[in-house]
A and B are shown apart, each in its own frame.
Chain A
Amino acid sequence: MSAMTPEPSAGLWTLAWRRLQRDRVGMTALIVVGCYLLVVLLALMGWVATDWTREVGVNYAPPVFMADDQDETAQPSRVEQGPSGPIPLYGLQDPLAAELAAIRARHPGAQVFTEAPRRLSLPLGGDKWGHDVLTKVIKGSETSILVGLVAAVLATLLGTVMGAVAGYFGRWMDDALNWLYGVFTAIPYLLLVFAIAAVLQQKGVVTLVLILGLTGWTGVFRLVRAEYLKHKTREYVLAAGAMGASHARRMFIHILPNTSHVILVQLSQNVVGFIKSEVILSFLGFGVPVDVVSWGSMLNEAQNELILGKWWQLAAAGVAMAILVTAFSMLTDALRDALDPKLRY
């Protein structure tokens, strides 16, 4: 005990942060996750990867490092890339020739849209329509990570409140919430997801978040309930009760900070889990709509491309996801070690 130092002593979070800083693996993971979040933020602000729908490359353009040694931009567009010269009419009369002439006369300066030349290779390759895979990965991580984060926050919030109520009050409230928990865990996960998707009747990012949030609270609920069961009989809670603290105060001001390490670790585990769930759901076609790109939808497209031997979209989405999930899991471990209050006694 440092008896005479004048400055206020470090609180739990400061101590946890100091411990985390000493953990080299944890800090590396934190930096990786931070980079991903930065990318998401930039994409959200519309500063990067806004135009992933533009078809900038040739179909299945290979990644740069696999391209033949040719001068790319000088290459003319390929045959199937739309009309660039007069259409052969095979001796037939063009029925619209007169109107076309009239339009041209009205707008003398106008030109027929001619597409920019498509690139033969792209940094990480292109997909079936020639979308840039790099842009797609960046835009896809925005969707996937946002879905994962928001759904995890929703699920953790639901689980924490229900777990707190069940554990703290016990009796019939505990029974009722446990029954609900039982129902949710008894139904096979995917069937439950399909059922909710069917009820919500529309595809979209919001729907996806709701699905994941409404089905994912069970793990948090179980752990938080156990923590509350343990803590509600602790003497400091009894002492608060003897002081006249209300139930809500005891639940959320006294006990909650003491369970925060469990909740935080669950939250970050849920983020990882939901990112993976989003991928699975999008892969199965229950995820994001066609006009949105996510890692899951990329992997979904990749299953057809693989047959043709075009592996780069799969690799790009897979690697991006693997790095994030690994880093997040390691961060979770580091957090658990850093926050464990038992280390403080």
Chain B
Amino acid sequence: MLLSVSDLRIDFQVSREERFTAVNGVSFDLPERTTLALVGESGSGKSVTALSILGLLPKSLAHVAPGSSILWNDQNILGFDDTRLRTLRGKEIGIIFQEPMSSLNPVLSIGMQLMEGLRLHFGLSRRQARHRALELLAEVGIANPERRLNDYPHQLSGGQQQRVMIAMAISCQPRLLIADEPTTALDVTIQRQILDLIADLQHRHSMAVLFITHDLALVSEIATQIVVMKQGVVREAGPLRQVFDAPQDAYTRALLACRPPLGERPHRLRVIEDFMGEGHDGVERKVRKRGVSPEDEIILEVRDLCKDFMINEGFWHKRPFHAVKGASLRLARGKTVGIVGESGSGKTTLGLTIAGLLGADGGEIIFSGHNLCQPGSVDSMALRRRIQIVFQNPYASLNPRFTVGDILTEPLLLHGIGRNAAARLALARDLLQRVGLPQDALQRYPHEFSGGQRQRIAIARCLTVKPEILICDESVSALDVSVQAQVLNLLQDLQDEFQMSYLFISHDLAVVHYMSDQVLVMHDGAVVESGDADGIYAHPQHPYTRRLLSAIPRGV
């Protein structure tokens, strides 16, 4: 057995008195040349487990319980001193992290950073190290390694940065590669390439891989063994097929069911409670109908919308960057248009421009008979109110100095809704209830809520002004899968109840498919394909759409 973790328990010192158990009795074995996936949502303790293998946890804060052991070739890592740990890191175990940009030193060229480890561990000369670095870059699929060697991290794309990180991790021929959410920050097509690269390298160097991720669909493509964790405890472990085909634990079953399936469209997504609580057979089998018919009333029409950003070049010169190039769409009442694209495709810019947070540089936005792009021609305040936006990051979109009550009553105050403070508070309370939050939340501050609850607050804030159009800009992307399903269900219910139209922006193709009647595919600022959601997913026409769809991890 290459690595054997048994009864690992790690406590964190939160404050002087308080301790928090991040990992509680975790055991698993990793044989040579296999890939084991540690799967779990945020707070499950998967990353802490991985870091403890390398002894990378801060000693002053993290206490490893006495009974724990991590055996590396039958030696207990937990007993190693710093010198022994240093030779272990890098040389025997390599690691790659989620954010390649922050893992690389921005002021050293990638060549320098690659050669550092080689010279340290093997005592190579500068020349030999350079030679080896070139080999490594070629091996991880970086074109023109000679030229790239002197580049700095910011000159590389996210995918290339992650390739460099992988090159560094395998440079000393480790026997184990730990990959901590290595593709989470990357676009889906890049993710596919990195996964292929890791699988290829593993095969060639006969490494074992410990793959840490929150994404079950991803796991099925790479792992042979799975360990499912929740709140520091292993819920289920076993070979891939066994866990996927016959999950024993309710939590695993829930995780597998929470993701919107690509093939069908259930009326509601199933959530954790359906499995964890009692009576979980009350699951709806109804299927949601999607699609827009010609009779549907069009409430928003965007024609040839353009948005440029000015980029400073040198002292005097400015160059326009075309973020959105002539986008057009029609949104029907009570329907959803999904906008998909990778980072930099202009989908968020399009959303912000329609929401009126950015000025357009061309084209028209026609909303209830008015062109919103013509300044001054309409009472924009009253019109704007009817288009609201829910942002991606629920931690950033709520003012940390406002109570939830302040957050919900502010828009009412601004638009003169409600006679007095008491009436406005009553309205806010109703909305809180509608989005499924307790009444006493009104006096609390955003930081006391979890990500999913915050996103509910953000949705409630939009509902205060009774919008007709809700723009969801990656609104569920930052949430855990189980929470994601709950928020998506809430959005569905609200749409059914208030007949709102959604502009649903996401990089997550499965979620967009589940939510949308029509889909717009964006690439480099241009709309490359648009049409009926089912049509596009079943028969993509544009080569980019095809590439995008084929990169989705299919799961099972």
Please list the residues of chain A having a beta carbon within 8 angstroms of any beta carbon in chain B. 1-4, 6, 8-9, 11-12, 234-236, 238-245, 249, 254, 257-258, 341, 344-345
Nearest chain A CB to B477's CB is how many angstroms away?
A: 13
Tell me the complex Cα distance, A287–B469, Å. Answer: 63
Contacts of A238 in B (CB 8 A): 352, 357, 389, 391, 397
Closest to A1 in B: B448
**Does B12 count as interface, using CB distance less than 8 angstroms?**
no
Tell whether, in the assembled complex, residue B448 and residue A234 are in contact, meaning their CB atoms are under 8 Å apart.
Answer: no
Interface check B318, CB cutoff 8 A: no
A238, B395: Cα distance in complex, Å: 14
Is residue B438 within 8 Å, beta carbon to beta carbon, of the partner chain? Answer: yes
Contacts of A239 in B (CB 8 A): 389, 391, 397-398, 458, 461
Residue of B352, B398, B401, B414 touching A243 (CB-CB under 8 A): B414
Q: How far is the CA of A7 from the CA of B72 in the complex (A)?
A: 51
Contact of A242 with B355 in the complex, beta carbons under 8 Å:
yes
Q: Can you report 15 residue pairs joining A to B where beta carbons are below 8 Å apart? A: A1-B448, A2-B448, A9-B448, A234-B396, A235-B392, A236-B397, A239-B391, A240-B399, A242-B355, A242-B389, A243-B411, A244-B384, A245-B410, A257-B401, A345-B395
Q: Identify A9's interface contact among B391, B410, B444, CB under 8 A.
A: B444
Closest 5 CB pairs of A and B: A8-B443, A235-B397, A257-B401, A235-B391, A243-B411
Q: Note all chain A residues with C-beta closer than 8 A to B389.
A: 238-239, 242
Are B396 and A1 in contact, CB atoms less than 8 angstroms apart? no
Q: Name the contact of A6 in the complex, choosing from B391, B400, B440 (C-beta under 8 A).
A: B440
Chain A residues whose CB sits within 8 angstroms of the CB of B449 once the complex forms? 1
Contact status A1-B450, CB under 8 Å:
yes
Q: How far is the CB of B17 from chain A (nearest CB, A)?
A: 12
Determine if B415 is an interface residue (Cβ-Cβ < 8 Å): yes
Q: Which of A4, A249, A258 meets B401, CB within 8 Å?
A: A258
The chain A residue with its CB closest to the CB of B406 is A253
Cα A107 to Cα B335 in complex, Å, equals 107
- The reply to whether the CB of B553 lies closer than 8 angstroms to some CB of chain A is no
Are the CB atoms of A245 and B384 closer together than 8 Å?
A: no
Q: Is B265 an interface residue (CB 8 A)?
A: no
CB atoms of A244 and B414 under 8 A apart:
yes
Closest-CB distance, B450 to chain A (whole angstroms): 7
The smallest C-beta distance from B103 to any residue of chain A, in angstroms, reads: 21
Q: Determine how close the nearest CB of chain B comes to the CB of A22; give it in whole angstroms.
A: 9
Nearest CB to that of B385 among chain A residues? A244
In the assembled complex, the CB of A209 is this many whole angstroms from the nearest CB of chain B, namely 31
Does the CB pair B438–A3 fall under 8 Å?
A: yes
Closest to A345 in B: B447
Interface contacts beyond A235-B391, A241-B357: sample of 18 additional A-B pairs, CB < 8 Å, sorted by A: A9-B444, A11-B401, A12-B401, A234-B396, A235-B392, A235-B393, A235-B397, A236-B396, A236-B397, A236-B399, A239-B398, A242-B384, A242-B389, A243-B414, A243-B461, A243-B465, A244-B415, A258-B399
B399 to chain A, nearest CB (A): 4
Give A81 to B445 CA distance when docked, in angstroms.
Answer: 71
Cβ of B261 under 8 Å from chain A: no
> Is B311 on the interface with A (CB-CB < 8 A)?
no
**Using an 8 Å CB-CB cutoff, how does the interface string of B428-461 with A read, 1 for contact, 0 for none?**
0000000000101001110111100000001001
B15 and chain A: residue at smallest CB distance:
A22
**Is A254 in contact with B399, judged by CB distance below 8 angstroms?**
yes
> Of the candidates A2, A9, A241, A344, which one forms a contact with B400 in the assembled complex, judged by CB atoms under 8 Å apart?
A344
Q: Is B388 an interface residue (CB 8 A)?
A: yes
B396 touching A245 by the CB < 8 A rule?
no
Q: How far is the CB of A50 from chain B (nearest CB, A)?
A: 44
Say how far B81's CB is from chain A's closest CB, in angstroms.
33
Contact code string B354-396 (vs A, CB < 8 Å = 1, else 0): 0111000000000000000000000001001101110111011
In chain B, positions 333-366 with a C-beta closer than 8 Å to chain A are 352, 355-357
Q: How far is the CA of A239 from the CA of B355 in the complex (A)?
A: 10
Chain A residue contacts of B391, Cβ below 8 A: 235, 238-239
Residues of A within 8 A of B385 (CB): 243-244
The CA of A11 and the CA of B411, in the complex, are separated in Å by 21
A169 to B376, CA, bound (A): 20
Residues of chain A with a CB closer than 8 A to B461's CB: 239, 243
Q: How far is the CA of A6 from the CA of B441 in the complex (A)?
A: 10
Q: Is the CB of A258 within 8 A of B400?
A: yes
Min distance, Cβ B15 to any Cβ of chain A, angstroms = 10
Docked Cα-Cα span, A257 to B402, in Å, equals: 9
Nearest residue (CB) in B for A241 is B357
* B438 close to A243 (CB less than 8 A): no
- Residue of A9, A12, A241 with most partner-chain B CB within 10 A: A9
State how many angstroms separate the Cβ of B488 from the closest Cβ of chain A: 20
User: In chain A, what residue has the closest Cβ to B471?
Assistant: A242
Q: In chain A, what residue has the closest Cβ to B392?
A: A235
Contacts of A257 in B (CB 8 A): 399, 401
Question: By CB atoms of chain A within 10 A, which of B391, B449, B458 has the most?
Answer: B391
Determine whether the beta carbon of A242 is less than 8 Å from that of B444. Answer: no
Q: Are A244 and B443 in contact (CB under 8 A)?
A: no
| B356 touching A243, Cβ below 8 Å | no
A11 near B445: Cβ-Cβ < 8 Å: yes
Bound: A67/B101 CA distance, A: 71
CA distance A8 to B447 in the complex (A): 14
The residue that B410 contacts in the complex, of A4, A8, A243, with Cβ under 8 A, is: A243
How far apart sit A345 and B381, CA to CA, in the bound complex (Å)? 34
* Distance A12 CA – B446 CA, assembled complex (angstroms): 12
Shortest Cβ distance from A268 into chain B, in angstroms? Answer: 20
Residues of B with C-beta under 8 A to A341: 400
The answer to whether A344 and B447 touch across the interface, beta carbons within 8 angstroms, is yes
Whether A244 lies near B381 (C-beta < 8 A) is yes
B23 to chain A, nearest CB (A): 21
Q: Is there an interface contact between A244 and B411, defined as CB atoms closer than 8 Å?
A: yes
Q: Chain B residues with Cβ under 8 A from A4's Cβ?
A: 440
**What is the minimal beta-carbon distance from B247 to any residue of chain A, in angstroms?**
30
With CB as the reference atom, state the residue of chain A lying closest to B449. A1
- Report the Cα distance A235→B478, complex, angstroms: 14
Chain A residues with Cβ under 8 A from B352's Cβ? 238
For B381, the chain A residues whose CB sits under 8 A away are 244
Please give me the residue from chain B that is nearest to A249 by CB atom: B414
Give the chain B neighbours of A1 by CB distance below 8 A: 448-450
Minimum C-beta distance from A175 to chain B (A): 13
Hey, which chain B residues are within 8 Å of A12, CB to CB?
Answer: 400-401, 445
Q: Which of B397, B458, B461 has the most CB of A within 10 A?
A: B397
CA distance A238 to B381 in the complex (A): 15
- Beta-carbon nearest neighbor of B445 in chain A: A9
Q: A11-B445, A242-B356, A244-B385 are in contact. Are A236 and B411 (CB under 8 A)?
A: no
Shortest Cβ distance from residue A267 to the other chain B in the assembled complex, whole angstroms: 18
**B403 / chain A contacts, CB cutoff of 8 Å:** 8-9, 11
**Assembled-state Cα–Cα distance A238/B396 (Å):** 10
Residues in chain B near residue A249, CB distance under 8 A: 414
B391 (CB) vs chain A CBs: closest residue: A235
Q: Which of B246-269 contact A (CB under 8 A)?
A: none
| A25 vs chain B, min Cβ distance (A) | 16
| Bound: A122/B395 CA distance, A | 63
**Nearest CB of B to A337, in Å:** 14
Take A12-B401, A234-B396 as given contacts and tell me if A242 and B357 are in contact as well, using a CB distance cutoff of 8 Å: yes
Question: Across the interface, which residues of B come within 8 angstroms of A8, CB to CB?
Answer: 403, 443-444
Q: Determine the chain A residues whose CB is within 8 A of the CB of B388 once the complex forms.
A: 242-243
CB neighbours of A344 from chain B (8 A): 400, 447
What is the chain A residue whose CB lies nearest that of B446?
A236
Q: Which residues of B lie under 8 Å from residue A234 when comparing CB positions?
A: 396
Q: Once the chains are docked, how many angstroms separate the CA of A235 from the CA of B475? A: 12
Contacting A236 at CB < 8 Å: which of B392, B398, B414?
A: B398
0/1 interface trace, chain B 398-421, chain A, CB 8 Å (1 if under): 111101000000110011000000
Please give, as numbers and ranges, the residues of chain A lying within 8 Å of B440 by CB-CB distance.
Answer: 4, 6
